[in-house]
């Protein structure tokens, strides 16, 4: 009986050991498989935010997946190939992004550039002539200016421009649209201007999303900035000046600001977060001032300053703690 117990015990121990061995093997294999991806994530962090999607997500990562898949069943080969691929990219990430950043500015043939410039100039000239002719009729004038703005925005988004050229065209686009909105508002004696400006802001947001997807090299400021500023600033300006605003104004402005911030946080677009926050601050401040709740505004400003100060101090402390930890680790 005792011999049987021994055999049974040994069998049980063998089964448990086998199970443990398999678990350790699977655990190790899974963790090893993650190493190339972890290195590639480090390479991703070395890329500027605006290039991470096009360079890492759409090019490097899919290739790594293929490399890993091709060596299925060969864990060591897979690890070596994956790690070599990722490490190579880790060292050249910033160089590739710099070359890519210049890519949209690549010189085109002289004749082609001349032709494009001439077409652009003719477009502006035609639309400007239309705007001059439409001067006596405010609505037509606004339409002509909006068309001019839209045309400048389209030209600004094309590849092969210098940064200054692009900024200038976007400025013209934003200015023309702002002027067009102002003419509509004054010419039609509009009571609630948000009925006109906010749909424009939503349109600008949609256009920005499209541009960001199609031309990621623009960056969030150029893709969203001019449209949003042109769409929102008239409302904000009126909100700051108007002593008796309609109830709908602060609600609409705050709602759209929150949508813009949420979108910016989801898509990690700095321009959206900054513009949305600025709009939110202005809208909330003007609403509080209009409701004679200036004291509440003062409390909010003080609380925000205090919280920012605490967050900054904690950040410094955390940084110092990390430095101490690193120094201690080096001593061992």
Closer residue to other proteins, CB minimum distance, 18 or 70: 70
Closer residue to other proteins, CB minimum distance, 53 or 270: 53
Shortest reach from residue 67's CB to other proteins, in Å? 6
Closer residue to other proteins, CB minimum distance, 17 or 84: 84
Closer residue to other proteins, CB minimum distance, 58 or 320: 58
Shortest reach from residue 270's CB to other proteins, in Å? 24
Shortest reach from residue 25's CB to other proteins, in Å? 24
Shortest reach from residue 106's CB to other proteins, in Å? 5
Shortest reach from residue 102's CB to other proteins, in Å? 6
Closer residue to other proteins, CB minimum distance, 64 or 257: 64
Interface of this chain with other proteins, residues 46 to 65, rule: CB under 8 A: 57-63, 65
Total chain residues near other proteins (CB under 8 A): 29
Shortest reach from residue 108's CB to other proteins, in Å? 7
331 binds other proteins (CB under 8 A): no
Closer residue to other proteins, CB minimum distance, 194 or 211: 211
Interface of this chain with other proteins, residues 78 to 137, rule: CB under 8 A: 84-89, 91-92, 95-96, 99-100, 102-103, 106-108
Contact 55, 82 (CB under 8 A): no
Question: Which positions lie near other proteins, rule CB under 8 A?
Answer: 57-63, 65-67, 69-70, 84-89, 91-92, 95-96, 99-100, 102-103, 106-108
């Amino acid at each position: 009986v005792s011999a049987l117990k021994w055999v049974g015990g040994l069998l049980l121990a063998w089964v448990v050991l086998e199970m443990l061995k398999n678990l350790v093997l699977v655990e190790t294999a899974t963790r090893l498989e993650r190493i190339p991806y972890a290195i590639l994530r480090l390479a991703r962090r070395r890329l500027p935010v605006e290039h991470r999607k096009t360079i890492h997500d759409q090019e490097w990562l899919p290739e790594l997946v293929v490399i890993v898949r091709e060596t299925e069943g060969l864990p060591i080969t897979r690890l070596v190939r994956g790690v070599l691929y990722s490490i190579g990219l880790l060292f050249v990430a910033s160089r590739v992004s710099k070359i890519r950043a210049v890519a949209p500015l690549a010189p085109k043939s002289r004749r082609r550039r001349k032709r494009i410039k001439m077409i652009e100039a003719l477009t502006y000239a035609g639309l400007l002539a239309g705007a001059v002719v439409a001067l006596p009729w405010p609505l037509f004038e606004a339409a002509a200016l909006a068309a001019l703005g839209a045309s400048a925005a389209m030209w600004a988004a094309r590849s092969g421009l210098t940064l200054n050229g692009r900024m200038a065209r976007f400025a013209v686009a934003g200015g023309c649209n702002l002027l067009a909105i102002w003419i509509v508002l004054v010419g039609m004696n509009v009571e609630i201007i948000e009925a006109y400006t906010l749909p424009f802001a939503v349109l600008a947001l949609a256009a920005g999303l499209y541009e960001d997807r199609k031309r990621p090299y623009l960056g969030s400021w150029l893709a969203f900035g001019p449209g949003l500023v042109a769409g929102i600033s008239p409302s904000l300006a009126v909100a700051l000046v108007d002593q008796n605003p309609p109830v709908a104004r602060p609600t609409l402005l705050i709602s759209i600001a929150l949508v813009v911030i949420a979108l910016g946080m989801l898509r990690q677009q700095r321009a959206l977060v900054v513009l949305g926050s600025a709009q939110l601050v202005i809208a909330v401040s003007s609403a509080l001032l209009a409701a004679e709740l200036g004291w509440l505004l003062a409390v909010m400003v003080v609380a925000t300053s205090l919280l920012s100060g605490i967050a900054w101090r904690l950040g410094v402390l955390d940084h110092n703690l990390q430095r101490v930890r690193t120094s201690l680790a080096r001593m061992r």
